[in-house]
Structure 1
């Protein structure tokens, strides 16, 4: 059997395939050669040259995905039980908002497929993955595994990625006896990134260097520490810290990125006073902020909120990024439900946020495919175990990634 046909039959469809998956090696009728379709990812055409990246949490776990059959902390916090559901099937989760596809496991390939197709059709260029390192402590290993499930599909969809490193948990690694010092633990993590991520063709590069972002620094707070951490790398990354934190990394920092805080004044100040001084600066846009920590029994609330204002907050922060003429923009966030910053489609806001991103990106194909991408997800779940239906849905995915949405929609309607 032709190897491309074999790969297609098991669901890997970003290669050239024939229309038959029968496995029959007999000679075909030479007068009617099989039709060949290609499903290599095709970029979305758009008019906005800004690189648009999405901050992404890979930390969600369900009772079906976990080894102990318990829901992960980010759906439960301290006092919520997603096994409880109301009359409409809405589960009790640690958030004021509810994902349109319901609470999910971040390593679920159907979930990843849904998320990445939504992003692609919104004109997003890549994903900035919140990452907790390589050590097997708390849920860090699970986040790493989920991250690598996500990375495995990014290239098939045609999106880039980079790591947002959380150094705040390095002390936990040392306290658990897994590393002698916080810097040695970080060096282990950076070595892993270099050997497994930085060399990927779709890893984000800035000035020919792999982009590495840090949420802080929180623990590694001196230039000498970061010099030590980067000393084992063949190429020092383009290293961006959180706004107003680059001094902690000294000359190791290439620049800073904006985040969400209290109100839009802080974002405005970043664009006016900080961005012009940076070699590399990344703007930010967000739909709002409303954390669930207090109601979730996970400690005090943050102490401030930013109202979603029916989408007006996202409109305003996108307009600020446009006025600032940023080269790079981070959307905050795809799915931090605990802090209420999610752009992912929800029961509350539908597809309105991804539609706004699509408009900002200047996506030339103005027809909407978001509801059909949701339909693909629902059929994946509904037809689980139905081989013939899944083959058709694999082909739907291929049409979507190769920017043939009309064919994808037509085939979706044929799946019974």
Structure 2
């Protein structure tokens, strides 16, 4: 009898303990872990692959080791620590990013940029890349690039490298490479090992796409043959317009850029494109460089006015009429030359709205303001783990093409 009473006592005690734990769990404020969802492509009607040229070269006083703002915000004479009207910092540009000047390796900045791209119908990013050598700010650019790459797959966007072969001379001048071809071989070997095999690295004709801004230093087919002979996978190599002759048979085509006026683009589509195996067109909102005013050297010497979006309308229309397989938007964020598609104080979301229309994005739901709000909440509530976890969930909703759920979650945060 005593044994029965003892067992009954402990049985009741266990039930009470279990009930107490259950009650405590229900009353807990601990948020649920964000649901990780695979990225889903945004539906659109335009089959042209839309890529955007991207500069990963921005640095702030908080991100740099020497606590100084990077050259691309300052040039020679601007000080972003000086805050003027409307709480705007002094930067080397006529235009001001909607999220303010930033560090290109900042996860929150990258999240903001890639979500805006995704919902405007952009398929991928063409990353302006300065190689592997620790010269000037090249290492910082490489590190920022790899922060960007780390999030691209999560968002569901592709990428490829735009190699600045001018960096090979810098590596030689700094005593870090024995020749410009040796420097290029080192850079290409790094790309092959770390980028080309990525599932979301852009492939054209079954091979990794590699653009070159030039050639500028390696200007003979023999030099490029020498460079490419050292890697296993020869890429689909695309030079700047009218410069494929410098790479010879190594080049698979050319891409258009921005220059003086739209007539150069007309010439590319009419006379050059038909001769190329691979042609990448361009669209841009305008061009207005800050070099002279910023003390960053001589002005380019010509301007393409933005004309309240008319220039972009014209270049997108030209791209549509050219029946392109590939289009490069110039650029996401070259603030020094005023070619940015990134939302600005001056133009708001106008340019990415136009891209969205060109891409034929099927969803008419407006999400750009909430993506910006998400960035602001990331910063304002950076020490609030609960809010950050909700924003992580909103990110997962955005990348899985569930914007209504993302917007609801963001707008519930106070």
After superposition, residues 217-296 of structure 1 pair within 5 angstroms as 217-296=215-294
Moved over 6 A (4+): none
- Is 1:106 aligned to 2:104, yes or no? yes
- Is 1:169 aligned to 2:167, yes or no? yes
Give how far 1:169 is off. 2.0
Give how far 1:37 is off. 4.8
| Cα distance in structure 2, aligned partners of 1:125 and 1:83 | 36
Secondary structure of 1:127's counterpart equals strand
Partner of 1:381: 379
Q: For residues 248 and 35 of structure 1, do their structure 2 counterparts lie closer, same or farther at Cα, with a shift above 3 Å needed?
A: closer
Secondary structure of 1:98's counterpart equals coil
| Cα distance in structure 2, aligned partners of 1:365 and 1:380 | 26
Which residue among 178, 181, 199 is the counterpart of 1:180? 178
| Cα distance in structure 2, aligned partners of 1:144 and 1:349 | 30
Report which of the two structures shows the higher radius of gyration computed on alpha carbons: 2
Partner of 2:76: 78
Give how far 1:36 is off. 9.7
| Cα distance in structure 1, aligned partners of 2:383 and 2:230 | 47
Partner of 2:46: 48
After superposition, residues 99-138 of structure 1 pair within 5 angstroms as 99-138=97-136
Partner of 1:17: none
Query: 1:186-235: CA deviations, max 9, x gaps?
Result: 00000000000000000000000000000000000000000011011111
| Cα distance in structure 1, aligned partners of 2:112 and 2:34 | 26
Partner of 1:19: none
- Is 1:405 aligned to 2:392, yes or no? no
Partner of 1:328: 326
The structure carrying a bigger helix percent of its residues is 2
Which residue among 281, 299, 306 is the counterpart of 1:301? 299
| Cα distance in structure 2, aligned partners of 1:328 and 1:176 | 37
Q: Is the 8 A contact 2:34 2:392 kept in 1?
A: no
Partner of 1:359: 357
| Cα distance in structure 2, aligned partners of 1:332 and 1:87 | 29
- Is 1:313 aligned to 2:307, yes or no? no
Unaligned runs of 5+ in 1: 1-23
Q: For residues 387 and 345 of structure 1, do their structure 2 counterparts lie closer, same or farther at Cα, with a shift above 3 Å needed?
A: same
Relative to the length of structure 1, the TM-score reads 0.91
Give how far 1:88 is off. 1.3
